Amino acid sequence: MKIKCELNGRICDLPDFLTDFFANSTILYCSTISKHKRPHIQPTIFINEPGKCSIVFLANRQSSMVKNLYQNPKTSLTIDKVHPLNPFLNKGIMIEAITHINDSKEVINEILENFQRKYTLEVVSKILGIDILQNCVKIRSLPQKIVYWEGPIFKRFKCKKHKSFIA
Amino acid sequence: MKLGSMQPPKKYQFLQEQVFEGIWPFNKVRPPMNVFLLLILYFIWGLALFVYYDIPVYYFIAGISGVFGLFLWTIGIFSYADHLRNVQVERINSANKKFLTEFLENLFHPSSLVVSVLVFSFVITYYFTSTSFGFKSILVKIQYELNVSTLPPVFLLYIFLLTFDLCYRLGLSLYVILTQIRRNIRLAGYLKSPHLRTSFSPVDINNLEKMDYYNYLAICSSFALLPLGIIDLFLLYCLTLFIVLTFSLMLFNIVHLRILYSRSFPEGLLNLLHSAKLARVGTISKNKFPHLVPTLFVFDGRSIFIATSIASQKVKNLKYNTNITIFIDSQPDGDLTKGKGVLIVGHAKIYGHKLWIGIFYYLVRGFRMARLLMLFRRKYPNYISYYLKGQKNLPRAWQLFPIISRAIIEIIPDQLYFWKASRPTLIKF
């Protein structure tokens, strides 16, 4: 399935090697900025909105990550695949995104099914706790910039098509 | 400093600070201006005596060096006291709180004066009784060189006041070092106890070491007192002996605290730091976005080091903001729910992003750099051999040329947090 992405005011389909990170990775590392201007990192499970490159994850409302995002919605999400021997075969993407937090139970309940489909109910409840609706918030992140790497070389992904309207 | 919500704030102060708070004109200005005022007053007084009584120049030089040493020492010890007072004791766990409170109570205890009085009594007795360069006593020698039958009271007062001030400081320096040694022995005992050792984080011990350096800085000012040896050789010997003694104790203290620092890392954390192959490093870019990438790392027992290209975004970000965070985790058997990790929040030092600074550092700290290289080679033998084979096609900035294209980043921990996939929040260590 193709993933559409809006970057720098342009919309385009993500190439397959980038789509692979969104669709087939299980864990992402989320970096936020604390009120003391220090980076904070936390791994998390995630899903991407069908057909879109926006990433959605759930997090405990008491966690430092959520507290930081309430103060500064800018985040960097990193998904990588590490080769155990050859550094030239390491791959990954880093997405600079703006997050939107939603604590509505109905909204969380809607996406919970997608999480359970991807990770199973057991994994989701072990990681996010039993009372997800009560304790978690939904974080939706809209990419502003995508950087990817193969080996030591980093490149920025740019949409080349002109802006068009999507529903 | 607050010692808990139920207790009134207690003010920890050295005697000298209390004197400054209670005596005009020192109580009219804030530190360090009051110390500067003391320097000025001693200097003017000494200069006036020099001009009025036609004192030989070498006495004037000795006096001024004494005053300057006094000034440097006071600045150092006041900074030390200030840093200790700012420790938020009420924020830490009970075992650590008890340990720190006890250390502060001992450090600022009035008994420190006893050591100072002993030093002063020794020096004054020497002034009056011991022969010096063929004279009956130092005072008689000064009397002779000033060509007066009795020493003027203002001159005597100056000598005694300056001598007391110096002896007080020398005595207090010794007392502070001995208290630090006692503290370290107690800390070593805590770290041996399986129940108490988790109460002491390596970051806390590192902070203690950092604070101790202010006292060591004060002790270094005793070098400024060496010209006092012009007056009397025996005083010079005593001063040299004091410097050797305090520096030996200081060195012992540093080494001991560093050993305790490496002992304070829990075994699980050490295993993770040595076994994990990859870490995620977070920095902050100029446009206020976090920047997060995976990286190789080594741990040398004190800090975490990463090697990167000087053209990397990490280096650019760290030039703008030195705050850095590194996350190291492992997922046993690939099970997401069993994931464990550590989040280290700290600040970074970059070595090698500027050619000349890089060369200077590699020359000065060559041994440490060689050790880091060895640690990287031992941990990542395959990675390095693949990289060396494949780097020919890379731009120069990404090749493995120390200083020219690579920078070493040291991450000095300020805070440590444990992470468990099955826990929603981090646990502060």
**Closest by Cβ to B398, choosing from A38, A145, A153:** A153
Which residue on chain A is closest to B390 by alpha carbon?
Answer: A88
pLDDT value at B3 more than 50: no
Mean per-residue pLDDT over chain B, rounded: 85
Residue A165 counted as domain residue: no
Give A14's DSSP letter.
P
* Interface contact flag, B325 A31, Cβ < 8 Å: yes
Q: How far is B327 from chain A (nearest CA, A)?
A: 6
User: Between β-strands B298-299 and A136-150, what pairing exists: parallel, antiparallel or unpaired?
Assistant: unpaired
Residue A53 counted as domain residue: yes
**If contacts are CB pairs under 8 Å, which of residues 3-22 in chain A contact chain B?**
none
**Helical H runs in B89-201?**
94-107, 112-129, 138-146, 153-192
Which residue on chain B is closest to A121 by alpha carbon?
Answer: B337
Put simply, whether A101 touches B (Cβ < 8 Å) is no
Report the sign of the C-alpha dihedral through residues A12, A18, A22, A24, in that order.
Answer: positive
Place of tokens 């690579």: B406
Residue A166 counted as domain residue: no
B395 pLDDT tier (thresholds 50, 70, 90): low
Of the residues B277, B336, B409, B427, the best mutation for testing chain A's interface (the one with the most A CB atoms within 10 Å of its CB) is: B336
pLDDT in tens, A112-159: 888 888 888 888 888 888 777 778 889 999 888 889 988 777 888 888
Model pLDDT, residue B8? 45
Distances (CA, A) of B419 to B79, B279, B338: 36, 14, 11
Contact B252, B177 (CB under 8 A): no
Distance of alpha carbon B232 from alpha carbon B236, whole angstroms: 7
Rounded to the nearest 10 degrees, how much is the dihedral formed by the CA atoms of A80, A81, A82, A83?
Answer: -160
Contact B172, B14 (CB under 8 A): yes
Q: How far is A165 from chain B (nearest CA, A)?
A: 28
Least confident range of A19-23, A39-43, A132-136: A132-136
Q: What are phi and psi of B328, to 5 degrees?
A: -125, 125
The single-letter code of the amino acid at A22 is: F
pLDDT value at B402 more than 70: no
- The parent domain of residue A41 ranges over 4-157
Model pLDDT, residue B399? 63
**Winning range, highest mean pLDDT, from A75-89, B236-250, B325-339:** B236-250
pLDDT value at A47 more than 70: yes
Model pLDDT, residue B53? 86
Residue A167 counted as domain residue: no
pLDDT value at B415 more than 50: yes
* Complex confidence, ipTM: 0.90
The tokens for B194 are: 């399986």
Model pLDDT, residue B7? 44
pLDDT in tens, B84-111: 887 776 667 788 888 888 999 999 988 8
Number of domain units in chain A: 1
Model pLDDT, residue A103? 85
Residue A92 counted as domain residue: yes
Residue A60 counted as domain residue: yes
**Closest by Cβ to A37, choosing from B284, B296, B387:** B284
B252 pLDDT tier (thresholds 50, 70, 90): very high
Q: At A67, which CATH number? A: 2.30.110.10
Q: Which domains does chain B have, with CATH numbers?
A: 15-264 (no CATH), 268-428 (2.30.110.10)
**If contacts are CB pairs under 8 Å, which of residues 32-91 in chain A contact chain B?**
32-33, 36-43, 45, 59-60, 62-64, 72, 74-78, 80, 82, 84-88, 90
Report, as an integer, the average pLDDT of A83-106.
86
Model pLDDT, residue B133? 65
Residue A162 counted as domain residue: no
pLDDT in tens, B337-391: 888 889 999 999 988 766 677 677 777 777 888 888 889 888 888 877 777 776 6
